[in-house]
Amino acid sequence: MIKKRNWWSVLLIVSLLGILFTGCSTNNTANNAPAESTAPTESAVPEATEAVADGPVDGGTLVMSTFSDVVNINPLLVNDTASGDIAQFVFASLFDLDREGNVTAQPWSLAAELPVISTDGLTYTVKLKETIKWSDGQPITADDVVYTVETAKNPETGSPLTSAFDKVKTVEKIDDRTVKFTMTQVYAPFLYALCQAIVPAHVLKDVKPTELQTNAFGTDPAKTVTSGPWKWTSWKQGDSHTLDADPNYWGEVKPHISQLVYKIYADQNTEVQALLKGDTDQTSAIPVTQVEAVKANDTISVIQKPGAQYEYVMFNFDSSNFKDDYGLFDGQKTRQAIAHALNRQGMVDNILKGVGALMNAPFLPDTWADPGDAAVNYDYNPETAKQLLADDGWVAGSDGILAKDGHRFSFELQYNAGNSRREQVAAVIQQNLKEVGIEVTPKAIDFAAWIDQNVTPGKFQALLLAWSLNNPDPDGESIFSSKYFPPAGQNSGWYKNEKLDQLWVDGYSTVDQAKRKEIYKEVGKEISTDLPYVFLYQYGQAIGTGPRVHWAEEDAPEPSLGYGQYFHAIKWWVTD
Amino acid sequence: MTEYLIRRVLQSVLVIFLITVLTFLLIHAAPGGPTQVMLSPGLSPEIFKQQAKNLGLDQPIPVQYVRWIGDMVQGDLGYTFKNHLAVSGLLWPRIGNTFILMGAAWLVSLLIAIPWGIYNSTKVYGLSDQTASFISYLGFALPTFWFGILLQQWFSLKLNWFPLSDMYSRGHEGDIGDLFMHLVLPVTVLSLGFLASYMKYARASMLEVLDQDYIRTARAKGVKERKVVFHHALRNALIPIITILGLDLPILVAGAALTENVFNWPGMGRWFVEMASAREYSVLMAVTIVTAVMVVIGNLLADILYAVVDPRVKLGKQGGGTA
């Protein structure tokens, strides 16, 4: 069976009757590159949260809100936002990211220094700090690292991390403080996989891998031995989590805030009301429709910056999904015409209220792999679109809809029900394409059913979805390469492009960043010309923070990183 | 009477058993499963398969059902798939929370609706009756979530009289006074909805009885109007009202998803919707059973109450007309 190199994960926001559930994945990994990451859109850190003259004070409670409850905080199994949120407060990672997304050894990281990579790029040697220990007082050693990686690699565990470590041939303990990873091949993105929380071998080593999911470690606070600045004190299901500063925390930098409360609300609207009322101090997902209302309250500071996620329209290249087995999207010019016909800037301005940036390739704007002008930009131009469609042989029929060889250009665009943003975007797409003679039927489907029946088996005509890049590495082989066709792989649209297949392999087979940058520039050019997707935009949700919370400017939340809303929370403080 | 009760209970057990079979089949027929919601779709399908296997979801549906019903008869409601938490530990607190909210709203609405409806039946189209009609229309027409948000805006965010949401303020768990303050707004929303229908039923039912021959006879005999209404009419008018109340009993535990959402009430309605989209089969089954039991109990209670208010009804006899 092919293993996936998957550190991308999908951010699919689902809701039913206004109840939202985010499925998104975990690892806080990083951007290796020293990219001058200027915020693509407005980033306001109002005075309320800048360093106050008094400086940090210890103690107090910070109440954060969310709209979905934890599944399991065992770092081997974390795969949803809420679990990831709690896990990153209570578990220390080998390495952590800095604001630019570089892998670093911070005072709160388990590693003492950056990994030593051999000149052939095949071995990584990691040195642990001397002082690190678990919340039960046991030292954290190389055994824990070896156990974590081996268990993650074991297919019986069913760990979402399996693919992150599948290029690791062996992981060896050199001594209590030193671990050596030997790779099966040169694989540049591996560095980010090392930004990984470790689990305690002394607690879990006798648990069968198949039984980790039903083990109390990760779901029962009393049985979850942790390693971070806060420990997991209690979980009231569906209501809240309480995290208290761990008095035995090993780090030299201690948290100022003595208690974190992670409060669960029914949906984002209720969350916003609670923030306005002062029941909570921070929410990381203000719906676009409410941003203005929150900003009008001058005690609340709002950070608006797109996150590490982008939305796209995916075409299906398997003609069996179409009437008479006639693939409507087979023509490259047809796909380019669709890209020209969509008013992407209009979507960003009107639906995202400006919190978004256009994209032409699967690389986030302003990161090191962003191909910039090398990628083809499709401006909104219905006339060009019509011309391209005519060039490709489409002729308007009697009902005004284009047709070719007797096949009407009419397709179904699927998205998940309850996501109001996608609902609006789908309506704009329908309108935009109608103007050039293409009939679109938007169809909202219940999330679980959709993934099971359409996305995973690759049975749809076109769909509207997003990828969340919780790892800033630009590799996209597992979603664009023909090695990953459904149902075993994630290339749900059956896209095949031999040149790109090779470029993705070249891209991760060198650790030389300058070379990689050139390769991804070439990828950007090819993919934006051939268009397996129409790349729409990078988007994000505003973070709102109440007047009790303070941070120094260098410790402010960083939406472009995974879990970046809590960036450097160890250095924040609260006042009453 | 005893024989009747035993027969009814046995019938109910059979009905509930059939409900579980049907529900189990239906919820498993819905496409997608717990892992599709737990895990990111971007992950390798191998991981989905392995996790489903680790959780026992790879077994055939009949096997899963037998396993479930086996645990069920021993009083074990099973575990959630996504995090292996005991369903019973999650279910009972939520039933309690919902019962407090719905019970309060029900009581408030009954205490207002029944007397007011009766009074209005004696003064049809009077000012009181017109006002009641207006309130009923409002109660039917106002979307509960919208009305709830409106109340929050006025009475919590602007005037700061009542808390915005939740059951208790942080640090005040178990404090009755705090609970009362948290109940005011959601109970207002919910009771307006109940009020509307109960008032209409009470009024209509009274009017129907007051129109009957024996009432006319009583009046002709010179019985005081007060006695006519309360002694002769009310008892008969109560029968249809009891039927409605019996049928509505399950909402006391089933909750009201939208209102619970708006007020972030940790109740059953909201939970059931969340669990349905998460495909948490054991939770859905547990809620279904509890609701089914409440339906059965509600009907049974209504039947017994008929016999209490109406001497013509004899339970257990052929032609009793109620079983």
- Asked whether residue B322 carries a pLDDT value surpassing 80, the answer given is no
Query: Looking at residues B88-112, what average pLDDT do you find?
Result: 92
* Contact criterion met (CB below 8 Å) for B68 and A35: no
- Asked whether residue A6 carries a pLDDT value surpassing 60, the answer given is no
- Asked whether residue A445 carries a pLDDT value surpassing 60, the answer given is yes
Let me know if residue A325 belongs to a domain: yes
Let me know if residue A180 belongs to a domain: no
In DSSP terms, A357 is beta-bridged to A538
* Contact criterion met (CB below 8 Å) for B270 and B255: yes
Q: Which residues of A touch B97 (CB under 8 A)?
A: none
Q: Which residues of B touch A71 (CB under 8 A)?
A: 38, 82-83
- Asked whether residue B102 carries a pLDDT value surpassing 70, the answer given is yes
- Asked whether residue A12 carries a pLDDT value surpassing 50, the answer given is no
- Asked whether residue B17 carries a pLDDT value surpassing 50, the answer given is yes
- Asked whether residue A469 carries a pLDDT value surpassing 50, the answer given is yes
Q: Which residues of A touch B151 (CB under 8 A)?
A: none
Q: How many distinct structural domains can be found in chain A?
A: 1
pLDDT digits 0-9 by tens, A269-301: 889 999 999 999 999 888 888 888 899 998 999
Q: Which residue has the higher pLDDT, A389 or A52?
A: A389
pLDDT digits 0-9 by tens, B243-254: 888 888 888 888
Cα of A338 vs its chain's centroid, Å: 27
pLDDT digits 0-9 by tens, B147-176: 999 999 999 999 999 999 999 998 888 899
**B90–A9 C-beta distance less than 8 A:** no
Let me know if residue A463 belongs to a domain: yes
Interface test with A, best of B27, B37, B44 (most A CBs within 10 A): B44
Q: Which residues of A touch B45 (CB under 8 A)?
A: 456, 487-489
For B164, which of A159, A239, A274 is closest by C-beta distance? A274
Confidence of residue A507 (pLDDT cuts 50, 70, 90): very high
Distance CA A105, CA A112 (A): 6
- Residues in Cβ contact with B195 at an 8 Å cutoff, skipping those fewer than 6 apart: B109, B112, B113, B135, B136, B139
In DSSP terms, A171 is beta-bridged to A181
- Name the one residue in this structure whose structure tokens are 């709002």: A302
pLDDT digits 0-9 by tens, A515-537: 999 999 999 999 999 999 999 99
- Name the one residue in this structure whose structure tokens are 């690190």: A132
pLDDT digits 0-9 by tens, A252-267: 999 999 999 999 998 8
- Residues in Cβ contact with B227 at an 8 Å cutoff, skipping those fewer than 6 apart: B218
For B41, which of A158, A455, A489 is closest by C-beta distance? A455
Is B284 within 8 Å of chain A by CB? no
- Asked whether residue A176 carries a pLDDT value surpassing 90, the answer given is yes
Long-range interactions of A514-518: CB distance < 8 A, separation 24+ = A516/A188, A516/A369, A516/A474, A517/A33, A517/A368, A517/A369
Let me know if residue A409 belongs to a domain: yes
pLDDT digits 0-9 by tens, A117-163: 999 999 999 999 999 999 999 999 999 999 999 999 999 998 988 88
Confidence of residue B317 (pLDDT cuts 50, 70, 90): low
Residue A29: give the domain boundaries: 3-43+308-539
Q: Which residues of B touch A454 (CB under 8 A)?
A: none
What domains appear along chain B, each with residue ranges and CATH number? 1-74 (no CATH), 87-314 (1.10.3720.10)
pLDDT of residue A40: 38
Let me know if residue A66 belongs to a domain: no
Strands A533-539 and A356-358: antiparallel
pLDDT digits 0-9 by tens, B175-193: 999 999 999 999 999 999 8
pLDDT of residue B316: 61
Distance CA A245, CA A13 (A): 31
Is B41 within 8 Å of chain A by CB? yes
For A160, which of B47, B262, B278 is closest by C-beta distance? B47
Query: Looking at residues B53-73, what average pLDDT do you find?
Result: 88
Is B278 within 8 Å of chain A by CB? yes
Distance CA A22, CA A31 (A): 24
For A160, which of B32, B39, B274 is closest by C-beta distance? B39
pLDDT of residue A460: 96
Instruction: Give the residue from chain B lying closest to A214, CA to CA.
Output: B84
Instruction: Give the residue from chain A lying closest to B165, CA to CA.
Output: A274
Sheet of A168-175: strands edge to edge? A116-117, A123-127, A178-183, A168-175
**B261–A267 C-beta distance less than 8 A:** yes
Question: Which residues 138-167 of B are in CB contact (within 8 Å) with A?
Answer: 145, 149, 152, 156-157, 163-166
Is B185 within 8 Å of chain A by CB? no
Q: Which residues of A touch B281 (CB under 8 A)?
A: none
Positive or negative torsion for Cα B47, B50, B53, B54: negative
Is B58 within 8 Å of chain A by CB? no
Confidence of residue A441 (pLDDT cuts 50, 70, 90): very high
Distance to chain B for A469, nearest Cα, Å: 11
Q: Which residues of A touch B266 (CB under 8 A)?
A: 238-239
Confidence of residue A326 (pLDDT cuts 50, 70, 90): very high
Let me know if residue A440 belongs to a domain: yes
Strands A356-358 and A240-245: unpaired
% of chain A residues with pLDDT over 70: 91
Distance CA A416, CA A362 (A): 21
For B46, which of A155, A451, A467 is closest by C-beta distance? A155
pLDDT digits 0-9 by tens, A407-437: 999 999 999 887 888 999 999 999 999 999 9
pLDDT of residue A60: 94
The mean pLDDT of chain A is: 87
Let me know if residue A528 belongs to a domain: yes
Let me know if residue A74 belongs to a domain: no
Give the tokens for residue A338. 């669709």
pLDDT of residue A509: 92
Confidence of residue A24 (pLDDT cuts 50, 70, 90): very low
pLDDT of residue A349: 92
pLDDT of residue B78: 87
- Residues in Cβ contact with A483 at an 8 Å cutoff, skipping those fewer than 6 apart: A2, A477, A489, A501
pLDDT of residue A391: 95
Report the CATH number at residue A436.
Answer: 3.10.105.10
Distance CA A55, CA A232 (A): 27
Is B181 within 8 Å of chain A by CB? no
**A237–B85 C-beta distance less than 8 A:** yes
CA atoms within 13 A on the CB side of A90: 32
pLDDT of residue B315: 66
Confidence of residue A353 (pLDDT cuts 50, 70, 90): confident
